Structure 1
Amino acid sequence: MSEEMDGKHGVQSLEIGMGILRAMVNGQRSMMLKDIAVAAEMPPSKAHRYLVSLIRAGFVEQDPITSRYDLGPFALNIGLVAIDRLDRVRLGLTAIAQLRDQINETTALAVWSETGPVIVRWERPRRPITVNVVTGTALELLTSASGRVFAAWLANDAVDRQIARELKKPGLPPHLKTRADVDRMLAQVRADGYAAISDYYLVTGVEAVAAPVFNFRNEITMAMLAVGVKGMFDMSPGSAVVTGVTRAAAELSVRLGYTGEEKKTG
């Protein structure tokens, strides 16, 4: 059989194994071997051989007391990751629309990409003077509220490299000239639970507040932000904007499985 034909036919043993997993998912509870075999339409001896391999791979686990089989840690992790990837933006869109209605300011959602934070959706408020946010806009880490939020809670080499690049750029605020300055600023962001920035470098006279959204792994997965016109946008602690953004981000985090112990840098 040629490689092309083999690719079209797939791997039968893998499909059989997935059939067993499907039977266990549909069972909605831990199951005995005989029940799994019936559901998967195969002899118990054959089902047992596949279950042994699935246990080794982490897809299935067996209770040593009851001998019942259930989904294993890796299968559960796949499901949680799938939920995170499919639902986080959809839930985020609803959240920023509700926040927009609550505070009557431009709201937006940013996610992390290979090149840093990117705006994926924004909502326009119902007021004559507004700030428009362009979907797909890439954000700096040090001079945007969302960027500071990601830099404060996302620990990876990409963040460190981007911070190093931005520190070489002209026009940074006087208090952000060294990595030590940046670390102090990010520590304050983590202590506050949000980032607030005035005179965003791309648009003069614009202010923004951003808060982190965490997932079931207690890791930052998105940033929720509100953007407004300087002089018409209250970013003081306890203001309606700050309270609204942080509360909305916290509520969305809970919906995404966050348990309250976010992972922090530093």
Structure 2
Amino acid sequence: MVTSLSAIPALDDEDTPRTPRGIQSVEVGGQLLKVLARTGRRMALKDLARAADMTAAKAHPYLVSFGKLGLIEQDTVSGHYGLGPLAMQLGLISLQQVDPVRLAIAELPALAQRIGHTVSASVWGDSGPTVIRVEEGPTAVYVAMRHGTTASMRHTATGKVFAAFGSRQRVAAALAAEGFAHALDEPAFAAELEAVRTHRLSVVADQLLPGISALATPVFDGFGQMVLCLASIGPTATLPTGLDSPVARHLRDAAQALSQRLGAPTAEG
């Protein structure tokens, strides 16, 4: 287990936890790196400085130092600044070290408490979308799900998320194995998948099981590939399924946070 040093509270003489002391100039200069990572493009000095809430004169010395380290490089033609080779290397190494499944599993208990219903994490398995973890909600009434269950591509919120963001060939093969060989050619199903892509949320009510509803949302890695799906399931009578419902917001917020930890761009980018 790797523990971040910033997560370890410093102690004063009375053994009282206090905020760890950092180096302010590093934190200030780091805003320039954050802007470049968020925008994903090279920027002129004045634009980069403005986005980092500092003057160009203040930003330039930081950029010079970052350039010497390889964190930033300047285009010789335009003069614009972008992330350098060391930043690229750090990003690739970070992606190699991060396990999306481990991150998602760690988040499920708190997510179930916030939502108030059973939540799950699923990945693409040998037979299609496969539930790898289930966390029951705090309510007395919950819907049982099992680890290892393969989700229907046609009738479950989880399956439809994978259908919306997976490769057409792989999705078509899974649908055919389920008995829906021509589902992708059905206008209604195609429109439903397009809505999932637009809202990054799939909602299913009373489809696979009467009285049961579910919502699901995708998690992406730094290469823009969907790596897993978060879902919430519960009785239709008590599970809000609106696109702007608290359940939808909690799911999407959790998925976005996981995606960002996996290297996906932020919402501002």
Q: Which TM-score tier does this pair reach, normalised by the shorter chain?
A: 0.5 to 0.7
Aligned twin of 2:233 = 227
Aligned twin of 2:188 = 181
Q: Using a 3 Å threshold, how does the CA distance of structure 1 residues 135 and 224 change in structure 2: closer, same or farther?
A: same
Deviation at 1:167, TM superposition (A): 5.5
Whole-angstrom distance in 2 between the partners of 1:149 and 1:165: 17
Aligned twin of 1:192 = 199
Conserved 8 A contact 1:107-1:226: yes
Q: Which runs of 5+ in 2 are unaligned?
A: 1-84
Whole-angstrom distance in 2 between the partners of 1:167 and 1:182: 15
Does the residue aligned with 2:219 lie in a helix, a strand or coil? strand
User: TM-score of the superposition, structure 2-length normalised?
Assistant: 0.61
Does the residue aligned with 1:102 lie in a helix, a strand or coil? helix
Q: Using a 3 Å threshold, how does the CA distance of structure 1 residues 81 and 135 change in structure 2: closer, same or farther?
A: same
**Matching residue's letter, 2:110:** Q
Aligned sequence identity (%): 25
Equivalent of 1:128, from 140, 160, 178?
140
Deviation at 1:182, TM superposition (A): 2.2
Whole-angstrom distance in 2 between the partners of 1:194 and 1:232: 19
Count of residue pairs brought into register by the alignment:
184
Does the residue aligned with 1:97 lie in a helix, a strand or coil? helix
Q: Which runs of 5+ in 1 are unaligned?
A: 1-69, 170-175, 262-266
1:91 aligns with 2:103: yes
Deviation at 1:178, TM superposition (A): 4.5
Does the residue aligned with 2:111 lie in a helix, a strand or coil? helix
**Matching residue's letter, 2:162:** F
Superposed CA offset, 1:72-104 (max 9, x none): x89975x456334xx211110122212111111
Does the residue aligned with 2:214 lie in a helix, a strand or coil? strand
Q: Using a 3 Å threshold, how does the CA distance of structure 1 residues 76 and 232 change in structure 2: closer, same or farther?
A: closer
Conserved 8 A contact 2:95-2:263: no
1:82 aligns with 2:101: no
Aligned twin of 2:50 = none
